[in-house]
Structure 1
């Protein structure tokens, strides 16, 4: 939760964890397409006049040497020395006086220029950041070479040769700013255009967070969070869902192992692939010629924390909390100037009291006395089943009460990094990095019924050899391995005996089913052993990148290959999922649907795919003031396949049988043997075979003084169909898993306590027309993003720069994923889409022979436009400052691309047949975002007792604010009669023109626990206009309403309120840190002890997320917000 502030103390200080198809490729094998990529690279490799420079992690230092009259000096020997390792790179200037040294390790360098007849020139302490292109022009005076001239002018801070839009986060920033959870990747939000997804599903047990990865998710320049590429030492470290890296706690540890990272937010060059969003490019620390290291511990406990917002509301004390985050890092030389080693360990030991709010039936409702006056005779089986629902111990509103309890989440995380660097010779350098991270996470479920385990294990390895063929030609060969193994909320033991009671089951040999009660009640998890999902991801990577410099051209070219293995298993609906349309129906044991899989059914899958890429990039210095960045990348993937052929897809929604990857499986069930329409090696034509991606940019220095840069560009980036996207449809698809849904449209369903085999049981009603299907668009169009930008960067002082610019993008054929596309198709009328409402006619669905159909379509277009401002002051005069502001708008028709419901404010299934009707603001769109950060080394006395008390103080701060995330007002229940039982039922109301959709009293008093956010008076039930009145079905009330119907309304008409038409509350957060440094010179000149106190949300400002679109019981009821905080449930 964001509410409350946290404070810390102890040696080192301590941040806390954040409360955050058809075959059409016959005769044209994909191998041939891969060979095209190889030939593409080789063609440029053999090209006689190519020139190239920096790679994805190395920096490039270049410039021109002139005499005092401005004439260029050829043949100057330029020596570039790394101040930390002593490694020297020698290059010489060409006929135009130009030099370039590519692929330099990020760090501080001294540059020396020497030539006969000129004094030797030295410019010291030049900072090169990861992937940077730094220009250092040097003027030489006539004189003896023995005469040394030191240049004191600072290096230019503006990008004079590159059009890439990026932000750098240096080691001081990573180390000294307050970091909640010591998550280095969270600092990416210091760059404009980078937003953390505040509405990502929480990582608490019982959510589906693990099915889309545990790492924190970012939107970069309007891109989806699954369209970014996270790199460590040049290798991709994305997880199986192509999301950000992270442990089960949702953080990326290793602050002391990361030297620095950059965030590329626009127009990056052709060497960057596998992404259409942004690139987070990190490098690990290395050993140096001087031994360096640190030991630390960060302490947090309940005595230092403010109370949780909901616990305060219910009058409960702070739960027990203990967190120790500790570690050590050290590096140094094994052999001076040649061999170096660095290692890091970080551990977390955390026990945290659970304070997750849950909404449960009130005591009166449990007895059948509903708040609207209805008296219900509670079914005997439900009386027993209510043992699984705890009694409310907080505020009660209507039939709902708040329940919280003081359980404990226990996490033990161990994170290791080791890196070795070796200078083989003056021409060869080698390094290797290995990272290991293991984090099991145990806690009770939301109702305290059973213990749940989630865990992550990560392995990352990188190897690179760099060879200098000549001062102008450098080649790097790099290999990498990335493995994620995830267990997502596996139930391991019962706390409440009812969770292990098979008499409460509805499927044979199982305990209680997962249970949904519409109307805002918290979901009850399936009983003991009913939850288990695992993911295993292996990525084997190989890269070869070459750099050559000649004349006015600097060119990069290279090749990439990645072999991806993704294995997943889900005990999908093994115990069943029961849905009740209202609390009343639950008490009567009258379910609206049952979702389940047949006995002895498992669904392990092993998806395999290979990526090939090649590129050429020429940075052409057309004039001293103008550089053109021209590149072309080719990148394709093979069509994913499954190791046993167990992939399946319908060619169209209406097809009765799917295409299968192998012969019809011999599965004998109560349904007999399900069939396949045929066997196919792939299910869609490969849309990536012509993925040529042009990249163009320019950097212009209009004044020629190196202090102003006008930059812009245009580029195309492809969105690749990676393996993780296929988990959602393939995990349940018939015939390799027999799972389906039956509902009460054809008559009442027997509910809880009526087991399979019993006459009339819901399970016994499952037939072929209830089974899950999967549809992957058979002829998808090429999925890509066009991006363009223009910006101006100005150096205002030796340490201060400002940038203002515009970034725009247009996504074509973006993925549109849905839970169930098997619905009744409406007709378009003058009033909007109208459904032929008839809830007992399943044959009206587009495919009456199947149940829910999970789908992947590429019919979603996106757009993004943004003004971005960035001000950066590097550390000088003991002060460092950064400010980033973005004003933007992102639009799409749906925002989710993977399983796990990426955004809690999302509706997971929209109307696939007409994406235009839901084209609106993206689920993660934020109009205004501002982030300020600063570090101040407070001046103080330098000697004596006063220095001991008043000296060595330091402050750091991060302030964030944004204008809120959008959400969609809905009408609960399947009012329109869409009949897609595999997704949450809903309809959309009409909007009252000119009415503010947010309650004014919430704006003035946002602290009320159950204070409504949405002004429901601004929304009405869709009206039956005269043209359609004869085909309209009025809304039906419930309970003891005097008028059981709403005359003049039209329940089967889609309203005009629109998707994401209400903006949620803004976010305001201030983190602050105070440090005291003690230099212990008796031990060493560099030995230092630091005490920290860090405060997160020091203003104690409660930050509410948008109201979440839960699905209410009454068909005439529009949902409201009931005190939901960011990260909370519905």
Structure 2
């Protein structure tokens, strides 16, 4: 059911009218969305234009011919051509027929081709030898094409064709994505993420055959291990990095635009197997240093493709299948309590082990090494299994000279299983992607073409479900902290470990069901010097996620002693019987007009306007919950209407809640005022040929690109939200012996779980009720120069400014600071002092920031996840692209980007979308965290090339077989490092939040280099911790400062002169990691077998990834407040240990890996 809120009706009427206009006037559907446009001017020998000339473009593979007639200005345009090789012929009375062959049209390209006629009879044929211009003379769009041979021949680890997007300037891969063996990756999208021209990863659109294939998180498509199969199914693709025209929507960053391979008049195909085995690989850097053997690895990728004619020149079919079977050893070394510690015999002295803690110790395996202290190492080798099957089929049919039709179906099914880090349980994730595209194109005449396209895109994901227990304790219900659940999740912060573990399905796991129904109609009318495009599209999105949010509960402990004695830092859990699917719904309506006006023969103006409106995201069952005001309700007014669906709350108890069956929030209307009702997006650009010779192009443009509030942005904001999901959190106190189950939740009364704890508090969410329009302004200028017929140089600048961008935080319920000359000062520190507003619930100096409860924004509630549109961004980039197109057996490309991306926050889906990001920067202080983006890359160089070595025919057949048929290929990249932020662990500021990673910031010592220049010889200690100090008190704030380490219960006055509740002056993402270098190399040997056919070929390939065997590292990261960029503990003590060390790789190829392949091509 389409639900429309007040104010949207008149807009829908206007869009519907635009859609009707587009369908009625008929034109081009894919001029730049997937197909190519060929245009130009026909002249006579004197340079005068030739009107009424017939221009024919014949696809040499399919024989399909499209015809246009030049107008009075000698201009012609043929839109919506299938990418490929064409032969163009021109006939006109009084002139010989001109023929130009080998015109290569790339996906979405606008190729200009001017032809000079010669006087003569039309029966005479003249071959035009001058090549088509290699520069872009008619469009201001910044784009790069990845041709079929590049996709097919360059080395690709995992055969993921989207990796080749980074060959273009301005495109960088995110090196700090969440690991795909956690639920965090699935919630943010499995595909590999890229930033394009400084935009967020969710600002990109990915298209195949004109259909958007982004997933539920508006992220790149991908399987359970983050790759996109189908190299042999993709004809080619382009990457639009800026200045794209009004026909492109849902993209404020860039567009990856691919077209599938189609059948031709000749039968062609291949069969192959790519093989990897750890026996061929080098051991990785850390395993070598630790003296560990290489973990076993085996990957087989096999399949085949075939295509050809069903009816010559009329009907064609192409199909592709690819299978992947991967088995990977997962060596694990994890910290566990020593046997002595299990008995309470700690190095510091004996302790009494809490009975429940003693029972939970059954979850820990016994240490197998290094038990000198209270902990040891458990080392084991798990096995990860990944089976995947990918397939696609495409059918093309020419109904008549005026009508053509094609359809594509794609399916990708992948599974993944592996044990957790404690070898306690087996986890499983599953992805299934399906895409359908059907397009009909009708030609009304030489100047009108229309195409209508329908599409369907589906993702079904099972994310981090537990299939069984390896250790029987993992399935033991008697260990549960919540009713009918297995053992809870556990984490001990001082172990410097962000990973958690627990019983079967006790942790967070998810189901994602995403369906997108799409319809497009685009029209192109050639009228004199104007190429006018008008179109509209509708997309209906149905997103049904089910979030099992820590149903077994999650315990956090500050250290091993506190765990053994039953003194937790916090506990949180979601009541399992309140888990219900959310049914998010949204419809996007768009309409556009684009006029590419040939203002002068050497100057084209690109003038466009797009309108894009998205309906307010809502739940079909009315099960969205949101605070109208994050400060309300108070404890006394828990049933206040300010909490959406407040009538669902049981007012008889201050913290009670009853989620009643059959009830909904439908009556409250839209949760936020629709900010997209006036989303008009002008797109302006120009392309100028200053010397009128087709060899130089000066281009520039400006555009506005809206960022729509999409359903996926609300997943992690609603997965704990009252009143339809009961999720509670508590902090501090001591574990009660025998711990009562959470039965009180089911009765609607939140019972205390811990002795001496504060009352458990309900989780809620809030959405900004009156958001501003969210958009990106982008501008660009570049110069292209054709240096020779196959060599082109582009120098350009791209800039952008994001306005009212989304901030998604995991917990906004914290204390609010005041701005002082020394910085932001918070009202409560790590341990509550004499300030009575901070002393509520303080017990024995172990309460972390628990004393901040009374000073929090909302005292009645616990975690409050939020969505606000209050951040901004800026990007400036200088791009260089030198490209040598394939000729004489060689092609190469050099791309360089010098850029700077700055923002207040880089997150969209979650508070910590990336591993190096700070979780939930304070929503009320966005400008305090303005700095380099989490994905900022200052310098990026990419060089790639293919070389087909000359044949040795003159040496005879034997020598030619041995020395001929060789090809070399390679991709070399070198990027500056990834940014990170040094922090103070835990909650020194006294924020009081529990649903997000807590942190403070230290001070930086002026003039000190925070990077250890000798880090390679210093056990990879990259951060110079001596460059940081604790925030210092000043006379003006001394009375409000709480010293680090202050603990009145122990008579500890703390570290004199320090101020724990003062935010330090270290800037977000101010420290950059080491540069990233990688070289992939391939050697191919072709064995033509002409006895079978002229094109039959057997190809052997050897591909070496990271052939230099050079590890690339991401910098130390904040983690969950316990990462290795933690400089100080919350008590002010230096972190020591692994602080500042490089511990993670930046790429999926940490050491040299070798792949062999055998292909049969016909």
Normalising by structure 1, report the TM-score: 0.93
Q: 1:52 to 1:946 in 2, by over 3 A?
A: closer
Cα distance in 2 between the residues matched to 1:529 and 1:96 = 71
Shift of 1:1126: 2.6
User: Which residue pairs with 2:995 in the alignment?
Assistant: 982
User: Which residue pairs with 2:867 in the alignment?
Assistant: 856
Residues 127-158 of structure 1 show CA distances to partners (whole Å, capped at 9, x for unaligned) of 00001000000000111111111011111110
User: Which residue pairs with 1:230 in the alignment?
Assistant: 206
Matched, 1:655 2:632: yes
Shift of 1:884: 0.8
Shift of 1:753: 5.5
Q: Please identify, of 579-588 and 395-404, the stretch whose mean Cα deviation from structure 2 is larger.
A: 395-404
Shift of 1:510: 1.8
Matched, 1:877 2:888: yes
Q: 1:567 aligns with which of 544, 548, 552?
A: 544
Q: 1:1049 to 1:110 in 2, by over 3 A?
A: same
Cα distance in 2 between the residues matched to 1:762 and 1:794 = 71
Shift of 1:986: 1.1
Q: 1:952 to 1:357 in 2, by over 3 A?
A: farther
Q: 1:103 aligns with which of 80, 87, 91?
A: 80
Shift of 1:358: 3.9
Mapping of residues 800-949 of structure 1, within 5 Å: 800-837=791-828, 838=838, 839-899=850-910, 901-942=912-953, 943-949=956-962
Shift of 1:41: 5.1
SS at match of 1:81: strand
Q: 2:701 aligns with which of 701, 707, 713?
A: 713
User: Which residue pairs with 2:658 in the alignment?
Assistant: 673
Note if contact 1:741-1:766 (Cα within 8 Å) is conserved in structure 2.
no
Shift of 1:405: 2.4
Residues 931-974 of structure 1 show CA distances to partners (whole Å, capped at 9, x for unaligned) of 11111111231241001111111111011111111111111111
Cα distance in 1 between the residues matched to 2:202 and 2:402 = 39
Matched, 1:955 2:971: no
Cα distance in 2 between the residues matched to 1:840 and 1:53 = 61
Cα distance in 1 between the residues matched to 2:782 and 2:575 = 59
Residues 229-250 of structure 1 show CA distances to partners (whole Å, capped at 9, x for unaligned) of 0000001000000000011121
Matched, 1:349 2:325: yes
User: Which residue pairs with 1:209 in the alignment?
Assistant: 185
SS at match of 1:1046: coil
Shift of 1:876: 1.2
User: Which residue pairs with 2:1143 in the alignment?
Assistant: 1124
Gaps of 5+ in 1: 1-23
Matched, 1:780 2:756: no
Mapping of residues 327-346 of structure 1, within 5 Å: 327-346=303-322
Note if contact 1:592-1:743 (Cα within 8 Å) is conserved in structure 2.
yes
Shift of 1:311: 2.8
SS at match of 1:355: strand
Cα distance in 1 between the residues matched to 2:289 and 2:338 = 17
User: Which residue pairs with 1:449 in the alignment?
Assistant: 424
Shift of 1:52: 10
Shift of 1:546: 0.4
Cα distance in 2 between the residues matched to 1:672 and 1:342 = 57
Q: 1:387 to 1:108 in 2, by over 3 A?
A: same
Matched, 1:324 2:300: yes
Q: 1:803 to 1:1118 in 2, by over 3 A?
A: farther
Note if contact 1:671-1:768 (Cα within 8 Å) is conserved in structure 2.
no
Matched, 1:242 2:218: yes
Mapping of residues 280-299 of structure 1, within 5 Å: 280-299=256-275
Note if contact 2:355-2:737 (Cα within 8 Å) is conserved in structure 1.
no
User: Which residue pairs with 2:1097 in the alignment?
Assistant: 1088
Mapping of residues 103-142 of structure 1, within 5 Å: 103-142=80-119
SS at match of 2:788: coil
Matched, 1:414 2:389: yes
User: Which residue pairs with 1:32 in the alignment?
Assistant: 10
User: Which residue pairs with 1:694 in the alignment?
Assistant: 682
Shift of 1:200: 0.5
Residues 1059-1105 of structure 1 show CA distances to partners (whole Å, capped at 9, x for unaligned) of 11111122111111111110001111100001111111111111111
Q: 1:820 to 1:1085 in 2, by over 3 A?
A: same
Cα distance in 1 between the residues matched to 2:70 and 2:370 = 76
Q: 1:324 to 1:44 in 2, by over 3 A?
A: closer
Q: 1:436 to 1:109 in 2, by over 3 A?
A: same
Mapping of residues 251-650 of structure 1, within 5 Å: 251-356=227-332, 358-361=334-337, 373=348, 376-391=351-366, 403-519=378-494, 520-531=496-507, 532-598=509-575, 600-650=577-627
Normalising by structure 2, report the TM-score: 0.91
Matched, 1:94 2:79: no
Question: What's the C-alpha RMSD, in Å, of the aligned pairs?
Answer: 2.7
Q: 1:428 to 1:1019 in 2, by over 3 A?
A: same
Cα distance in 1 between the residues matched to 2:444 and 2:471 = 69
Shift of 1:562: 0.2
Note if contact 2:775-2:804 (Cα within 8 Å) is conserved in structure 1.
yes
SS at match of 1:917: helix
Shift of 1:385: 2.5
Q: 1:182 aligns with which of 146, 159, 167?
A: 159
Shift of 1:1014: 1.4
Cα distance in 2 between the residues matched to 1:225 and 1:768 = 40
User: Which residue pairs with 2:48 in the alignment?
Assistant: 71
Cα distance in 1 between the residues matched to 2:1059 and 2:1101 = 62
Q: Please identify, of 285-294 and 601-610, the stretch whose mean Cα deviation from structure 2 is larger.
A: 601-610
SS at match of 2:1145: coil
User: Which residue pairs with 2:1021 in the alignment?
Assistant: 1012
Cα distance in 1 between the residues matched to 2:698 and 2:557 = 60
| Relative contact order higher in (CA < 8 Å, ≥ 6 apart) | 1
SS at match of 1:447: coil
Cα distance in 2 between the residues matched to 1:230 and 1:1021 = 46
Count of paired positions: 1096
Shift of 1:599: 5.0
Cα distance in 1 between the residues matched to 2:786 and 2:657 = 74
Shift of 1:482: 0.2
Q: 1:100 to 1:400 in 2, by over 3 A?
A: farther
Residues 182-232 of structure 1 show CA distances to partners (whole Å, capped at 9, x for unaligned) of 00011100000001000001112x341011111111100000001100000
SS at match of 1:997: coil
SS at match of 2:119: coil
User: Which residue pairs with 1:10 in the alignment?
Assistant: none
Q: 1:720 to 1:53 in 2, by over 3 A?
A: closer
Residues 554-575 of structure 1 show CA distances to partners (whole Å, capped at 9, x for unaligned) of 1111010000000011111210
Q: 1:132 to 1:398 in 2, by over 3 A?
A: farther
Q: Please identify, of 160-169 and 307-316, the stretch whose mean Cα deviation from structure 2 is larger.
A: 307-316
Q: Please identify, of 527-536 and 83-92, the stretch whose mean Cα deviation from structure 2 is larger.
A: 527-536
Cα distance in 2 between the residues matched to 1:798 and 1:752 = 81
User: Which residue pairs with 1:16 in the alignment?
Assistant: none
Shift of 1:504: 2.6
Q: Please identify, of 405-414 and 516-525, the stretch whose mean Cα deviation from structure 2 is larger.
A: 516-525
Cα distance in 1 between the residues matched to 2:272 and 2:1050 = 64
User: Which residue pairs with 1:156 in the alignment?
Assistant: 133
